[in-house]
Structure 1
Amino acid sequence: MIEIVETGPLNTIQDLGRPGYRNVGVTGCGAMDPLALRIGNILAGNPAEAGSIEVQTFPFRLRFVIRGVFAVTGADCRAKLDGVEMPPWSAAEAEAGQVLELLPPMKDARAYVSLAGGVDVAPIMGSRSTSLRGGFGGFDGRALAAGDSIATGAATPLFLPKGGLGVVPPAVALKDVFPVAEGGALVIRALPAGEHDLFGADAERFWNQPWKISARSDRTGYRLTGDPIHPTEAVEMRSHGIVPGVIQVPPAGEPIVQMSDANTAGGYPKIGGVIEADLWRLGQARIGSMLRFTPATHGEAKALEKALAVYLHDIRQTVGLVAAALAAMA
């Protein structure tokens, strides 16, 4: 059990999402940085699909009502437990009454607080994720508010070193497979989509110019500003199914990247689709930051997914070995 002491708008309960209902108009929701959520759950001894708290407005503070293990992953928000700073991407054990504080991060957009046992709210359509537009899921279908008391599920006993346990952040551990920023712009890989060739010469400008994430962006989609691109001729399309990562181009010519709360259907032409392995990096991009898209192949996308799977396996194995060794010593 925890109590929310201080929070801001848009901080919600999320898990890995609500797949399987897009055909009836229900968006998937889920963490904007699913990799950070997965790692947090591993560190807290939870199943990958356990619900966590996604924090994107700071400062954020919660009080532990009972003793428990927790992890903070994602953006380095200078987390402090009763005023003592924690390393980023780490887990620790809190005593009843202690307060966890997350401060505004210097870079990146979202942090995740994973609690041993997971956030115990009723699943809806197989997920605990909050749908703010739909007003369901999570904690009464809304953003968290000061004074909210949130239960946690039954936790598997997990032994941690006295100073806590951390992991090497993915951007560092996987620096060889994730491109660094070019001229201050985050490089995001994408596959050309169905209507790519309809843009003619403008398709090349899509790949070659930087795009800025507009202030009109949210969990549904990132609106990008830059030199507009247009099809070579007017295109009338029926609405079709879309998923996170799809890059649509509305008539004004400035792309929209669908994100975790992606619309379930849309009729704008699609110029590309962000590969799944890069969606977590896009989910950490802040309003006003610059992006550059680079073409990828299906083979590259599969290789990146394999690298991420190996990285997660190594973390899970290390946490398990450390916990088992400490349990044997107890």
Structure 2
Amino acid sequence: MSVIVIKPGLLSSLQDGGRVGYAALGVGRAGAADWPAWRLANALVGNTRGEAALEFTLIGPTLRFEQATAIALTGAPVDARVGDQRLPGWTCCVLPAGSVLHLGGMRHGCRGYLAVRGGFAATAVLGSQSTDLNARIGPLDGRALQAGDRLELGVADPAPLPGSAGALRVLRWGIDPQPWFDYGQVRLALSRGHHFDRLDDNAQQALFKASFTLSKDSNRVGSRLDGQRLHLRQPLELISEATLPGTLQLPPSGQPILLQAEAPVTGGYPRIGQLAAVDLPRLAQRRPGDTVCFRETTLDEAAQRLAARRLRLQRLLDHIERRLDFA
């Protein structure tokens, strides 16, 4: 009833919807960086209770499944195979007991998700199975996967898996990743932050006109943006204020930092912008060397776009649930 980690991949960790409600205690949310991809991976294997999935970065893990199970891969396209058979993403695949799943590199994008039917039986910490790698909170003492780790599978619905015993099966249908994975390097919507007016005139224009490059030093805490340096009109002495995923901070170096899933709950750098929540998955799929550009948005537009995406996602989740049949 286990999955054995043969190779861990890069920064592979268990993630669910996040650790909600503990910011006042200094505990961040963490959770899946590409939230829709995580939800859809779970839906494709029949999970409906917010089960944790494996999130991996740039290179996926190699795993041995001790029992037959259904899996789904979403997020960035990854080279996936069992033996000589390649597995597609964004659909359900049923693996027989003893299967070794090899997940290789990503052609583009940064993060992939592997969901298993029934989820993983990891102990929840503060109500979540998410791994906060920076704070070292969550399954496996808050660390990434290592070779030799054993991940217990959760209890799935008793309906039998499709296909004959001992045979690998790929369902005949899947979902189109195009609406849920950012193939094009589109501009990300950013609203003005509390300290935007403290930027000098050149910096205010550059924020929405210049191109930045995602630094190799980026991680789940934040995306460091290389490129044109942004300057304040004069230095600021600030006390720490609330931050959240999507907050754009400006450290003394002049190179902005865009906070991600493991954002700290407070920060002392000037907050010059806030990324629209609907574009956080796009940010999560930027890899080192990718271009990051911003366009200005308003709170109303950002809220409308987020509501529209939630509606589209829920309709798709309902459709998958109706169509998925393990009988």
Q: When the two structures are superposed, what TM-score results if normalisation uses the length of structure 1?
A: 0.90
Report if the CA contact (8 A) 1:190-1:275 is conserved: yes
Write the deviation string for residues 7-32 of structure 1: whole angstroms up to 9, x where unpaired. Answer: 23421111111121122221211111
Q: Map of 1:240-279 to 2, 5 A cutoff?
A: 240-279=241-280
Q: Quick check: 1:52 aligned with 2:53?
A: yes
Q: Please give the alpha-carbon distance, in whole angstroms, between the structure 1 residues aligned to 2:254 and 2:175.
A: 42
**TM-fit CA distance, 1:57:** 4.5
Q: Kindly, what percent of the aligned residue pairs are identical?
A: 31
Q: When the two structures are superposed, what TM-score results if normalisation uses the length of structure 2?
A: 0.91
- The corresponding residue for 2:197 is 197
- The corresponding residue for 1:308 is 309
- The corresponding residue for 1:166 is 174
- The corresponding residue for 1:212 is 213
Q: Please give the alpha-carbon distance, in whole angstroms, between the structure 1 residues aligned to 2:28 and 2:146.
A: 24
Unaligned 5+ runs, structure 1: none
Give the counterpart letter for 1:71 in structure 2.
A
3-state SS in 1 of match to 2:223? strand
Q: Please give the alpha-carbon distance, in whole angstroms, between the structure 2 residues aligned to 1:276 and 1:301.
A: 7
Q: Please give the alpha-carbon distance, in whole angstroms, between the structure 2 residues aligned to 1:5 and 1:193.
A: 45
**TM-fit CA distance, 1:241:** 1.1
3-state SS in 2 of match to 1:71? strand
- The corresponding residue for 2:166 is none
Give the counterpart letter for 1:20 in structure 2.
G
Q: Please give the alpha-carbon distance, in whole angstroms, between the structure 1 residues aligned to 2:232 and 2:179.
A: 40
Q: Please give the alpha-carbon distance, in whole angstroms, between the structure 1 residues aligned to 2:161 and 2:315.
A: 18
Unaligned 5+ runs, structure 2: 164-168
Deviates more, 1:298-307 or 1:221-230: 298-307
Write the deviation string for residues 213-245 of structure 1: whole angstroms up to 9, x where unpaired. Answer: 111111111111111111212211111110010
Give the counterpart letter for 1:89 in structure 2.
W
Q: Please give the alpha-carbon distance, in whole angstroms, between the structure 2 residues aligned to 1:158 and 1:104.
A: 32
Give the counterpart letter for 1:163 in structure 2.
V
Report if the CA contact (8 A) 1:12-1:53 is conserved: yes
Report if the CA contact (8 A) 1:187-1:294 is conserved: yes
Number of positions where the alignment pairs a residue of Structure 1 with one of Structure 2: 318
Q: Please give the alpha-carbon distance, in whole angstroms, between the structure 1 residues aligned to 2:198 and 2:241.
A: 17
RMSD: 2.0
Q: Please give the alpha-carbon distance, in whole angstroms, between the structure 2 residues aligned to 1:265 and 1:310.
A: 31
- The corresponding residue for 1:69 is 70
- The corresponding residue for 1:188 is 188
Q: Please give the alpha-carbon distance, in whole angstroms, between the structure 1 residues aligned to 2:82 and 2:312.
A: 28
Report if the CA contact (8 A) 1:191-1:295 is conserved: yes
Deviates more, 1:230-239 or 1:130-139: 130-139
Compared CA separation, residues 42 and 174, structure 1 to 2 (3 A): closer
- The corresponding residue for 1:114 is 115
3-state SS in 2 of match to 1:78? strand
Report if the CA contact (8 A) 1:71-1:114 is conserved: yes
Give the counterpart letter for 2:170 in structure 1.
G
Give the counterpart letter for 2:311 in structure 1.
V
Q: Please give the alpha-carbon distance, in whole angstroms, between the structure 2 residues aligned to 1:235 and 1:135.
A: 32
Compared CA separation, residues 154 and 174, structure 1 to 2 (3 A): closer
Give the counterpart letter for 1:190 in structure 2.
L
